[in-house]
Amino acid sequence: MFPWQDLIDTYRGNPLWLKLVGTMIQDLFNSKVSDYFNYDKLIVCDDLQAILHQQFQRLSELEEQIMSCLAHAAEPLTTNKLLDEIKVSPSELFSAMQSLGRRSLIEKEQQNEQSIFAIAPIVKEYVKRCFRQN
């Protein structure tokens, strides 16, 4: 895989995230993505951390719990597993999940004809660093 494609995949094609990490790569690595990947490719630069922090300040307590649960899970989770982990009614969970989805904070995948949910690796890193699991 080409370094640029790996960078795009890592940051989920998010234009703002790519701009911020691209600026860091330009400033620190003479625009060489391959040099950047000699280090941890999930670097949450200060600018990106500030943006994520701003988004997380607007989350409800339930949305924070969902994000923490997904961040600490080894693999994507089904809604049933989330309901087992977070003791709320299905309607409350589903409403919070839709809200997080609209803000592109969670990702939905299909596995064995079932929806599973996860968060982008960079968001996962931020959550693990900044929040404790409830």
Over residues 56-97, the pLDDT tens digits come to: 999 999 999 999 999 999 999 999 999 999 999 999 999 999
Whether 134 shows a pLDDT value over 60: the answer reads no
Task: Tell me the one-letter amino acid at 13.
Answer: G
Rounded to two decimals, the pTM is 0.79
Residues of the chain with CATH 1.10.10.10: 59-130
Whether 23 contacts 29, CB under 8 Å: no
* Cα angle value 97/126/73 (rounded, 5°): 55
What are the beta bridge partners of residue 117? 77, 108
Domain 59-130 in CATH 3.10.20.30:
no
CB neighbourhood size of 12 (10 A): 15
Report pLDDT digits (tens) over 9-67.
Answer: 888 888 888 998 889 899 988 988 888 888 876 777 888 889 999 999 999 999 999 99
Give the residue carrying structure tokens 């699991």. 133
Average pLDDT over residues 116-129: 89
Q: What size, in residues, is the chain?
A: 134
pLDDT at 82: 95
Rg (CA), the chain: 16
Average pLDDT over residues 98-102: 94
